A = this chain, B = another copy of it.
Amino acid sequence: MSTTHEDTEEQNLAYNVFARACVSRGTLEHVTGRWGGLTLGALHEGSMRFNELRRRVDGVSEKMLSQTLHALERDGLVHREAQPTNPPRVDYELTPLGREVAERLMTLIQFVEGRMDDVLAARERYDARRGAR
């Protein structure tokens, strides 16, 4: 048990998203950024080709999706598989690490989607208070 405790402490010392220079902050942004999060969420449903992804991540441009996929591939979260067909066919899928990240992200996304009625009610109360001042 003491080993587990020490491992946890070492991790906390090593990487900390709250520190502006920590490299983990960049990866968190790849994972939770506007397009990164939706891309991981889409691939959580299964492997997809570029154009399938583009349709699923509604609103993303070709350039932004391409940049997003490169960043996620470089971080080891997405695997790009070019099939030796003619024309070449490229599939994107989550790596085992990417799947673990995507599962935690989807837990957050589904919770937010499920509580949007509360969020919208809070906005109404907030705006009414502001209007009353």
Interface residues of A (CB under 8 A from B): 11-12, 14-20, 23-24, 27-29, 31-34, 37-38, 41-42, 56-59, 73-77, 97, 100-101, 104-105, 107-109, 111-123, 125-127
- Cβ contacts A to B, 27 pairs, < 8 Å: A11-B113, A12-B113, A14-B113, A14-B117, A15-B114, A17-B38, A17-B41, A17-B109, A17-B112, A18-B57, A19-B58, A20-B58, A20-B59, A24-B113, A27-B116, A27-B119, A29-B34, A32-B108, A73-B126, A74-B122, A74-B127, A75-B119, A75-B123, A76-B126, A104-B107, A107-B108, A108-B108
Within the complex, what minimum Cβ distance (angstroms) separates A65 from chain B? 13
Contact B31 A123 (CB under 8 A): no
**Which one of B23, B58, B126, B127 lies within 8 Å of A18 (CB-CB)?**
B58
How many Å lie between the Cα of A84 and that of B115 in the bound state? 32
How many Å lie between the Cα of A72 and that of B115 in the bound state? 14
Contact A31-B101, Cβ < 8 Å, known A73-B126, A74-B123: no
List the number of copies, as a whole number: 2
How many Å lie between the Cα of A75 and that of B27 in the bound state? 26
Within the complex, what minimum Cβ distance (angstroms) separates A87 from chain B? 21
Within the complex, what minimum Cβ distance (angstroms) separates A64 from chain B? 13
